[in-house]
Amino acid sequence: MKTTGGSEAEKRAAGESAAETVEDGMVVGLGTGSTAAHAIRAIGRRVDSGLDVRGIPTSFQSRELAKEAAIPLTTLDEADEVHLAIDGADQFSGPHLVKGGGAAHAREKIVDAAADRLLVVADPSKFADELDHPIPVEVLPDARTTVAADVRALGGTPTLRTAERKDGPVVTDNGNLVLDCDFGAIPSPGVLASELAELPGAVEHGLFVGMADEVHVGSDDGVEVRRF
């Protein structure tokens, strides 16, 4: 699992805080990444103690973790309602997020958007007054060159994400590629989100505009919950 940003203690505090909000009978979206992993393990411990919950994983990684934690799983097809999603972020500014550092943002966005409430778990290094993190864009392999040209035309600098323990590109859980697109500061995330969503061959981008209902920020001193 990739690790970024703050300490494990900060991430664990955030994850455990969000996991405490899960109630009996809920269907919960299970996010991806090193911070969401702490929430999944904490939910698993509560399942051990009798919590009745079903999880919807957002990636191969979160499904494997949920299975290890013995969290019963379901799917968007089967569940009548997704009461809550708990997910990490690469950067947040108010309720706006950049996600996809683990290339899971397409499935994450589907599950997070389907949930009644999205709780984001983060360490303090993820906060920004204004978003400026490169935006991951998942692209169909055939569209890599054309989407890259479109991103340049929008003022961004696209970089094909390459794998660390494999030669060549990162391939997502959906069999696609990822362009990390640096736009510098993003004063109007909603405008950029709409522009990226329109690009032919772009499957999904990592801007989650206005999607967070709460951000649980873990630190050595405890957890600050920001509500939007």
C-alpha span between 173 and 200 (Å, rounded) = 20
Q: What one-letter code names the amino acid at 198?
A: E
The edge-to-edge listing of strands for the beta sheet with 222-227 is 53-57, 26-30, 84-87, 118-122, 214-219, 222-227
Q: Examine residue 105 and tell whether it contacts ligand R5P (CB under 6 A).
A: yes
Q: Examine residue 179 and tell whether it contacts ligand R5P (CB under 6 A).
A: no
Nearer to ligand R5P (CB atom), residue 123 or residue 150: 123
Contact segment (CB under 6 A) with ligand R5P among 19-27, 95-103, 142-150, 211-219 equals 95-103
C-alpha span between 67 and 81 (Å, rounded) = 21
**Bridge partners, 204 (sequence order):** 138
Q: Examine residue 207 and tell whether it contacts ligand R5P (CB under 6 A).
A: no
Output the smallest distance, CB 97 to ligand R5P, in A.
8
Number of residues binding to ligand R5P, judged by CB under 6 A: 21
Q: Examine residue 134 and tell whether it contacts ligand R5P (CB under 6 A).
A: no
Give yes or no for a contact between 133 and 142, defined as CB atoms under 8 angstroms apart: no
Q: Which of residues 4-23 bind ligand R5P (CB under 6 A)?
A: 4-5
Q: Examine residue 111 and tell whether it contacts ligand R5P (CB under 6 A).
A: no
Q: Which of 110, 120, 33 is CA-nearest to residue 79?
A: 110
C-alpha span between 200 and 134 (Å, rounded) = 20
C-alpha span between 143 and 165 (Å, rounded) = 24
Output the smallest distance, CB 155 to ligand R5P, in A.
23
Output the smallest distance, CB 32 to ligand R5P, in A.
4
Radius of gyration of the chain (CA): 17
Q: Examine residue 33 and tell whether it contacts ligand R5P (CB under 6 A).
A: yes
195 is catalytic: no
Nearest position to ligand R5P, beta carbon: 33
Give yes or no for a contact between 100 and 90, defined as CB atoms under 8 angstroms apart: yes
Q: Select the residue interacting with ligand R5P from 44, 57, 102, 134 (CB under 6 A).
A: 102
Q: Select the residue interacting with ligand R5P from 29, 55, 57, 88 (CB under 6 A).
A: 88
Q: Which of 106, 56, 65 is CA-nearest to residue 85?
A: 56
Q: Examine residue 34 and tell whether it contacts ligand R5P (CB under 6 A).
A: yes
Q: Which residues are catalytic?
A: 108
Which residues of the chain form contacts with ligand R5P (CB under 6 A)? 2, 4-5, 31-36, 87-90, 99-105, 108
